[in-house]
Amino acid sequence: MLTRLIVYFAYSLKASARYGQTRQFFYNLLETRTAGLRPILTPSCRHGRAESVLLLLYEAERTPDGVSYLNKRLLRSREQKLRRTEPS
């Protein structure tokens, strides 16, 4: 039943004129260098990527050694489990 629904939806999308126009718009936007929004979209995408990397670096520097804290906690819990399973 679900398979038939998915196939029906796929065929209805393929036959839809609006879907074809939307698909063509995004294809032209990504592939054609002279597309209308391309000069605006490319720098904004680059800016977004650079900003996300800078935010990740900033958060990593400001975290009070979170990774080593987690590693110590995991190692401590593993050692406690090993102590419990060792025969006395």
pLDDT in tens, 17-57: 999 999 998 888 888 877 777 788 888 889 999 999 888 87
| Same domain assignment for residues 69 and 43 | yes
Domain extent for 76? 37-88
Q: Which residues contact 28 (CB under 8 A, 6 or more apart)?
A: 35
| Same domain assignment for residues 4 and 17 | yes
| Same domain assignment for residues 46 and 70 | yes
| Same domain assignment for residues 82 and 41 | yes
| Same domain assignment for residues 41 and 82 | yes
Query: For the stretch 17-55, what's the b/e string if a residue is b when 16 or more beta carbons lie within 10 angstroms of its beta carbon?
Result: eeeeeeeeeeeeeeeeeeeeeeeeeeeeeeeeeeeeeee
Average the pLDDT over 64-86 and give the result: 66
pTM: 0.42
| Same domain assignment for residues 18 and 60 | no
**What's the total number of domains in the chain?**
2
Angle at 57 between CA 55 and CA 60, to 5 degrees: 110
The C-alpha atoms of residue 4 and residue 11 are separated, in whole angstroms, by 11
| Same domain assignment for residues 65 and 87 | yes
